Amino acid sequence: MKIIVLDGYAMNPGDLSWGELEKLGDCRVYDRTPANKVLERAAGARILLTNKTVLSADTLAALPELQYIGVLATGTNVVDIQAARSRGIPVTNVPGYSTASVAQMVFALLLDMTSQVGHHSRLVREGAWSASPDFAFWDRPLTELDGLTLGVVGFGAIGRRVAELARAFGMTVLVHTRNPEKYQGTREAESVEFTGLDTLFGRSDVVSLHCPLTTETERMVDASRLARMKPGARLINTGRGPLIDEAALAEALNSGRLAGAGLDVLSSEPPRADNPLLQAENSVITPHIAWATRAARQRLMTVAVANVRDFLVGNKSNVVN
């Protein structure tokens, strides 16, 4: 039983164990696999695991022994799902493993922007507090979350967790989702208000994006939608980078119309050096790490291995096609 992991480093840079997967067959783990090495490394594999390495229709056609594809993530856009289905190859994913960690990052970004923790810590180390005549020193506005309005775009597991945390901070929560009727009568709907997207952008002090990337949502946060936001509002994106028109957001930040943006994802990753957000005013950018706590990655490992184990005994777990 040949098992190949094409790009295991992101999920496991060395602090987790592949031992449980190795018990299931002849397992080889590559840290990263460039496109021109995929066929060579995957040749003869019955089970193939990938995180971001693309598996196209042509690639799948060249791997006649392949019987199973496991995506080491929730999103499965790196695999040609239709081609896999036509060849009878199940594709699995790992849903929900990072919900708590991503929601935590939303508030890490928000608190950094509103309490200016990183900025003032740097000033202390640079001597600004030591040189101050006062016992307390700050040079940027500090914002209290209690009483502000958070708009949550997308109400899946992460969006619901973010709404829950926001209420704990005393925030009013607006929600936009394609199917609000799904939540009628549920606990999650009791203390949020479902609104249209434009209404949400117009009323929110903070907007947090948690919707999937589709043809409808790509660049949904464009110049016109940013113009609907309150002066001094903030935008957070821990979902997908292409949800935002980055040039338009950079302009809104540099003009001072928006007070800040907290971004864990960008349109291309790693970003191009000329990405306008890298030099934009009041932008807090982290390198796609919201999902990457050790606890979340351990859950990812556990479920990914369980998916393979179930496949080997004829069960279907987290099959997306």
Of the residues 240, 246, 297, 299, only one is catalytic, namely: 240
- 298 φ, ψ to 5°? -65, -40
Name the catalytic one among 28, 228, 288, 309: 288
How far is it, in rounded angstroms, from Cα 208 to Cα 206? 7
Q: How many helices (H) and strands (E) does the chain have?
A: 11, 12
87 is catalytic: no
Residue 130 · residue 186 · CB < 8 Å: no
Taking the C-alpha atoms of residue 177 and residue 315, their distance in angstroms, rounded to an integer, is 33
Catalytic residue, candidates 181, 269, 272, 294:
269
* 288 tagged catalytic: yes
Contact between 63 and 125 under an 8 Å Cβ cutoff? The reply is no
Residue 240 is a catalytic residue = yes
Strand partners, 91: 69
User: From CA 89, how far away is CA 108, in angstroms rounded?
Assistant: 40
CB-based contact 91:84 (threshold 8 Å): yes
Q: What phi and psi values does residue 135 have, to the nearest 5 degrees? A: -70, -25
Q: What angle do CA 309, 91, 181 make, to 5 degrees?
A: 110
Q: Which two tokens stand for residue 300?
A: 């990812």
Catalogue the active-site residues: 240, 269, 288
